[in-house]
Amino acid sequence: MEHLGGAAVVSGLDVARLRQLALIVRERSFSRAAESLGISQPALSKNIRSMERTLGVQLLERGRFGALPTAFGLALVRHADAIDAELRSAVQEVDALRIARTGHICVGCGPSEATRLLPIALNRLRQRSPGITVTVLYGLNEALTPMVKHGEVDFALSSIPARCTDGDLRLVKLHEDRAAVIVRTGHPLTERRGPLTAQHLLAQQWVLARTSELERRALDDLFMETGLEPPVVSLETTSAVLMKTMVIQSDLLTFLPRELIYWEERAGLLTALKLAVPSWHRIVGLTLRARAGINPAAQALIDTLREVGGEFSS
């Protein structure tokens, strides 16, 4: 394939064709992508071939599993998503600057943070900047991180790792929370004297998040560090509401951040077991795109979240 110089390559690419490539990769089909775009399949194929000639690499492979991206195609799609997100952010920022103290924020939020931290911050933001509108998308980390990367949310508020290993992301710590083994008030294990060990928990039935979640991995580590296999899980779910409800209505155990059961503890519905091992601390923070701008409305919410998070830490 013919390869052009750097400036010529950039001028030979446009956002529309990058979006077309991204849609083909998502659909794994030229025909479905063309139908969605409202153009003919030959025209779409021609645009992709033009990009391949410009870049001097093959972007897609056609096979019995559909249109699959090469490593070059995947790299270009990743940047296409980032460009789209930056364009949306730029439009939002212009709108926010045009009319002071207005704008729209879309934030991803984990279940624990939706219990107290975010509601407090949103109430303060509404009082200070009533013209700002907010959309909150709810989910666990495994769903929130891709949403940040693809620009579907301005940022995510959830558990974050101690160290960021993804160059496309930036982490901001707000405060620390503790996680614990949670049971209903009056559960037989609450009647035992003294701290419980992992051995006491081994024969219990559990409802837990999936193995990819930070809290689930921490619970598995608690058992493995004492030479025991992690417990057999009766029910896995991405719903924190379901986990809490199942525990309230049964003798099931779960492992959750204390913030997530704040109101249930106050109401006397749930309690945290006292274990003979140190409690697991999780970092609560923000996940943002590393190279993305932040519109004024999103920055106002971030500042408020930092303020509230500082109060949680004090």
pLDDT tens for 277-292 read: 777 888 999 999 998 8
In the predicted model, is pLDDT for residue 71 greater than 80? Answer: yes
Of residues 141 and 122, which shows the higher confidence score? Answer: 122
Which is higher by pLDDT, 145 or 101? Answer: 145
Q: How far apart are CA 172 and CA 161, in angstroms?
A: 10
Of 161 and 308, the structure prediction assigns the larger pLDDT to: 308
Strand 280-289 vs strand 169-184: parallel, antiparallel, or unpaired?
antiparallel
pLDDT above 70 for 210: yes
State mean pLDDT over 113-119: 95
Question: Of the candidates 133, 237, 221, which has an alpha carbon nearest to the alpha carbon of residue 246?
Answer: 237
Calculate mean pLDDT across residues 158-174.
91
- Residue intervals in the chain for CATH 3.40.190.10: 101-175+283-313, 177-281
pLDDT recorded at residue 101:
64
pLDDT digits (tens, 9 = 90+) for 2-28: 444 444 455 557 888 888 888 898 888
Per-residue confidence (pLDDT) for residue 301, from 0 to 100:
94
Adjacent-strand bridge partners of 133: 104
Taking each helix axis from N to C end, the angle separating 15-27 and 41-55, rounded to the nearest 10 degrees, works out to 110
Which phi-psi region, left, alpha or beta, contains residue 268 (left: φ > 0; alpha: ψ -120 to 50)?
Answer: left
How buried is 116 (Cβ within 10 angstroms: 0-12 exposed, 13-18 middle, 19+ buried)? middle
pLDDT at 33 over 80: yes
Least confident of 4-8, 54-58, 68-72, 102-106: 4-8
pLDDT at 100 over 50: no
Which pLDDT band holds residue 99 (cuts at 50, 70, 90)?
Answer: very low
| 101-175+283-313 placed in CATH 2.40.110.10 | no
pTM of the shown model: 0.62
Q: What percent of the chain has pLDDT over 70?
A: 93
Band (86; pLDDT cuts 50, 70, 90): confident
* Mean pLDDT computed over 168-189: 93
**Hey, what CATH class is 177-281 in?**
alpha beta
Rounded Cα distance between 132 and 298, Å, is: 9
Q: Specify the CATH architecture of the domain 6-78.
A: Orthogonal Bundle (1.10)
156: Cβ–Cβ under 8 A, 6 or more apart, which residues?
107, 108, 109, 110, 144, 145, 147, 148, 286, 287
The residue type of 231 is P
Range 260-275 average pLDDT: 94
Residue 7 neighbours by CB under 8 Å, 6+ apart: none
Question: Where is average pLDDT lowest: 42-51, 57-66, 265-274?
Answer: 57-66
Band (90; pLDDT cuts 50, 70, 90): confident
Q: Mean pLDDT, to the nearest integer, of 33-56?
A: 89
Who has greater pLDDT, 55 or 269?
Answer: 269
- Pinpoint the residues of the chain covered by CATH 1.10.10.10: 6-78
With H, G, I as helix, E, B as strand and everything else as coil, classify residue 95.
helix
C-alpha to C-alpha distance for 271 and 252, rounded to whole angstroms: 12
